[in-house]
A and B are shown apart, each in its own frame.
Chain A
Amino acid sequence: MRQTSLFDPAFLRPILAFLRPILIDAAKAAGIATLLTVFMVGIRTVDNPQGLQAEYRFDDVFTAVAIVFFGRIALSLLSGGRVLAGLVVVGGFSAWMLIALLTVGETGIGLLPKPFASTVVCWIVTLAAIGFSLRGFFLLTRGDKGAPAVFKEEGALSLRRMTPWIGAALILFAFVMPWFDFANRRIMDMAVLVLTYVMLGWGLNIVVGLAGLLDLGYVAFYAVGAYTFALTSFYFDLGFWVALPVCGAMTAFFGVMLGFPVLRLRGDYLAIVTLGFGEIIRVILINWWWFTGGPDGIRGIPRPTFFGMEFRRKPREGEETFHSFFDLDYSSVDRIVYLYYIILLLALITNLFTMRMRRLPVGRAWEALREDEVACRALGINPVNTKLTAFGLGAMFGGFAGCFFAARQGFISPESFTFIESAVILAIVVLGGLGSQIGVVIASILLIGVPELFRELQEYRMLAFGGGMVLVMVWRPRGLLSHRDPTVRLFKGRRTKSARPSEGTA
């Protein structure tokens, strides 16, 4: 520090010159934020007994604009290399939020305004800001930007090595979970839901992750599976276990049917056609009312039985129920736990199947096709068959999941199979990292499980969804776990024969 007065113009001028563009920039951003929020946030129409009236919420507008203004300053400082200054702004904000949240009172410091009405949202924002400050702090202490990157690489590498163990631990946990105390009915219901999406994600991963065919209409196969079971049980009185393979075959057939016309398409064009296919199925289900029940759906779909025994309090005439056969007390959770194990097994089968396929020539051809179709043809791979198997198999697993869904709900209608479902499943695959099996699990928990836990925040779900997507695109543009494990063991004995001498060269 030089020995100058704080208000000496010679000392102030460079600071002002430095701050001027940043402040102007921030003011512009705040102006845009004002324009955007003043009508959408600031004015709200309320349906009063006196008629429609406007309610003004300009304090919310003010907080939003203030956040944008200071956030913009922090961002400019950070990106301008002024980490310390940015840190002061973000840190100050998080400190303010933290104090405002921790002190509740009528006087003094407790009156600090909180920008959001919901305490939980305040906490999330605060934690994010604290995270930012910590990151800035580390950047500062480490000196250069290179250090964290190396750290990240190492971390990713060790994480990669641990992946099989993490997977095994997760599976083990999944198997024993119902026996824990915390696994009440709500948790189990949620687990079943998450696992359904895990299975759908794994199924779609075959098509999108491995074969690289962007499918926006995957829900169509889910619907076909569900309706196949519902209709076969309704018209032919088939049970869940008999209908399951029927559903798989039916959806695989539908997958191939869709595959044929779209074989020549790639990328966005393929996405649009598959999107259309998803809608076609839904519209048919709605309009073919005398066969599918139309918008009313189908009810009374039989539940899965345990070797012919039902899960109900009172057995039917001449039949035994699960709890009476095993001499247990009746508990409604039993049925959920049973469903949980069914979907867990189905999902694991999907996973095993996919992992196995990747090591076979067909799976290899899928991946090669994703990378370079021309080269594939030049190597004698038939792209038609390869794509069709990917479509068919991917669809088949969607069909199994659909069959399970119908059996679990007992009632299905076309409403369950809208485009948003396809989008969510695709988001799970993309977020998890294309082709990554464990990534799908993590993404399903994040996208399905977490929103179920925070029911309170339902209004903010889409906001969080979008924000999360943006963050993933910024930090991990290829998905949470984008690593692709080489499948070294295509041919038997390969590893044992030649792996050892060449180890260590990579």
Chain B
Amino acid sequence: MNKVLTIENVQTFYGHIQALHGVSLDVDEGEIATLIGANGAGKSTLLMTICGDPQARSGRIVYKGEEITGKPTYEIMRMGIAQSPEGRRIFPRMTVLENLQIGATILGPDRFEEDLAKVYELFPILKERERQRGGTLSGGEQQMLAIGRALMSRPRLLLLDEPSLGIAPLIVKRIFEAIRRINEEEKMTIFLVEQNAHHALRLAHRGYVMVNGRIQLTGSGRDLLANPEVRAAYLEGGR
């Protein structure tokens, strides 16, 4: 399998505080890889480090054979990586359509209609809400918009940061179903950061468990789901 993303021994700091203690992981072409872990384990930090904000202090991040460590965020995002950030961060005063248009900024107008149709097909509710302001959408709709906005740049690697955060369980199901479809139909590689371990591991081909800024466990989604340690820590215990 072709490696899309390779992270080697990455260390990231916020000021003096070390958030990532030498993280290494791979994401293969066409797979869904998930990173689960408790609150504050460093999951989002790793995702943001891939995007270059904050930048890794040591280690290497390689995307499709090209090192992207140290590149500015907007350049990384122009290389075929797209992100649906934590907390969704849609543009609240702009309409749904405008949000999607901004998502397509780096591609330009040529294939906009085509991509728009695809996103609307994936999330039909967005078409209904086309002229509504982003801020007036429900949490689930905003998450769909954030994912749709990321898809508008035709990424080859989609980074999702906690798409289930604060969303009704029924909608979470729908969103995860959409993620699966994106992966299968578009052959898009997806790196999913989640606290909702159950959903994430069922969906993922490969899973990583992060504890205190280190990767603790690796395995296929199904293996991790069956792993007693994981079950105790993330599936039956605290949550």
Residue ranges of A at the interface with B (Cβ–Cβ < 8 Å): 361, 364-365, 367-368, 371-372, 374-383, 484, 486-488, 490-492, 494, 497-498, 502, 505-506
Let me know if B94 and A486 touch, CB within 8 A: yes
Selected contact of B128 from candidates A378, A487, A494, A505, CB within 8 Å: A505
* Shortest Cβ distance from A378 into B: residue: B83
- Chain B 75-97 interface residues, beta-carbon cutoff 8 Å to A: 77-78, 82-83, 85, 89-95, 97
- In the assembled complex, the Cα of A361 lies from the Cα of B112 at a distance in Å of 13
Let me know if B94 and A491 touch, CB within 8 A: no
- 4 smallest CB-CB distances across A and B, nearest first, come from A380-B77, A491-B109, A375-B89, A380-B106
- In the assembled complex, the Cα of A502 lies from the Cα of B51 at a distance in Å of 36
Decide yes or no: A365 and B105 within 8 Å by CB, A379-B153, A382-B74 being known contacts: yes
Let me know if B94 and A377 touch, CB within 8 A: no
**What are 16 inter-chain pairs, A to B, with CB distance below 8 A?**
A365-B105, A368-B91, A371-B94, A374-B85, A375-B91, A376-B102, A377-B77, A378-B73, A379-B77, A379-B82, A379-B106, A380-B153, A382-B74, A487-B98, A490-B109, A506-B129
Decide yes or no: A491 and B112 within 8 Å by CB, A380-B105, A486-B97 being known contacts: yes
- In the assembled complex, the Cα of A170 lies from the Cα of B13 at a distance in Å of 57
- For A484, the chain B residues whose CB sits under 8 A away are 93
* Min CB–CB distance B117 → chain A (angstroms): 9
B118 interface residue, CB < 8 Å from A? Answer: no
Let me know if A486 and B98 touch, CB within 8 A: yes
- For A383, the chain B residues whose CB sits under 8 A away are 74
* Shortest Cβ distance from A486 into B: residue: B95
B180 interface residue, CB < 8 Å from A? Answer: no
- For A372, the chain B residues whose CB sits under 8 A away are 89, 91
Let me know if A492 and B109 touch, CB within 8 A: yes
13 additional contacts, CB 8 Å, given A490-B98, A497-B113? A365-B102, A365-B105, A368-B102, A371-B91, A371-B93, A372-B91, A379-B149, A380-B74, A381-B74, A382-B72, A382-B74, A491-B101, A505-B128
* Shortest Cβ distance from B116 into A: residue: A498
- For B127, the chain A residues whose CB sits under 8 A away are 502
- For B90, the chain A residues whose CB sits under 8 A away are 375
Selected contact of B51 from candidates A364, A368, A378, A494, CB within 8 Å: A378
- In the assembled complex, the Cα of A484 lies from the Cα of B94 at a distance in Å of 9
Interface centre among B85, B90, B92 (most CB of A within 10 A): B85
Number of B interface residues in the complex (CB < 8 A): 37
- Chain B 134-155 interface residues, beta-carbon cutoff 8 Å to A: 149-150, 153
Let me know if A379 and B105 touch, CB within 8 A: yes
- For A488, the chain B residues whose CB sits under 8 A away are 95, 97-98, 131
- In the assembled complex, the Cα of A378 lies from the Cα of B155 at a distance in Å of 12
Let me know if B130 and A502 touch, CB within 8 A: yes
Interface centre among B108, B131, B150 (most CB of A within 10 A): B131
B223 interface residue, CB < 8 Å from A? Answer: no
- For A502, the chain B residues whose CB sits under 8 A away are 127-128, 130-131
- For B109, the chain A residues whose CB sits under 8 A away are 490-492
Let me know if B53 and A377 touch, CB within 8 A: yes
- For A492, the chain B residues whose CB sits under 8 A away are 109
* Min CB–CB distance A181 → chain B (angstroms): 45
Interface residues as binary, B49-82 with A (CB distance below 8 Å gives 1, 0 otherwise): 0010100000000000000000011100110001
B212 interface residue, CB < 8 Å from A? Answer: no
B132 interface residue, CB < 8 Å from A? Answer: yes
B42 interface residue, CB < 8 Å from A? Answer: no
Let me know if A364 and B98 touch, CB within 8 A: yes
B103 interface residue, CB < 8 Å from A? Answer: yes
- For B150, the chain A residues whose CB sits under 8 A away are 379
Let me know if A505 and B103 touch, CB within 8 A: no
Let me know if A367 and B94 touch, CB within 8 A: yes
- In the assembled complex, the Cα of A380 lies from the Cα of B112 at a distance in Å of 16
Interface centre among B101, B106, B109 (most CB of A within 10 A): B101
Let me know if A378 and B94 touch, CB within 8 A: no
Decide yes or no: A361 and B105 within 8 Å by CB, A372-B89, A374-B89 being known contacts: yes
* Shortest Cβ distance from B161 into A: residue: A378
* Min CB–CB distance B114 → chain A (angstroms): 12
- For B91, the chain A residues whose CB sits under 8 A away are 367-368, 371-372, 375
Decide yes or no: A371 and B92 within 8 Å by CB, A490-B101, A502-B127 being known contacts: yes
* Shortest Cβ distance from B113 into A: residue: A497
* Shortest Cβ distance from B84 into A: residue: A378
- In the assembled complex, the Cα of A376 lies from the Cα of B103 at a distance in Å of 9
- In the assembled complex, the Cα of A319 lies from the Cα of B112 at a distance in Å of 58
* Min CB–CB distance B154 → chain A (angstroms): 11
- For B128, the chain A residues whose CB sits under 8 A away are 502, 505
Let me know if A379 and B102 touch, CB within 8 A: yes
* Min CB–CB distance A380 → chain B (angstroms): 4
Interface centre among B95, B97, B149 (most CB of A within 10 A): B97
- In the assembled complex, the Cα of A486 lies from the Cα of B83 at a distance in Å of 24
- In the assembled complex, the Cα of A367 lies from the Cα of B93 at a distance in Å of 9
* Shortest Cβ distance from B81 into A: residue: A380
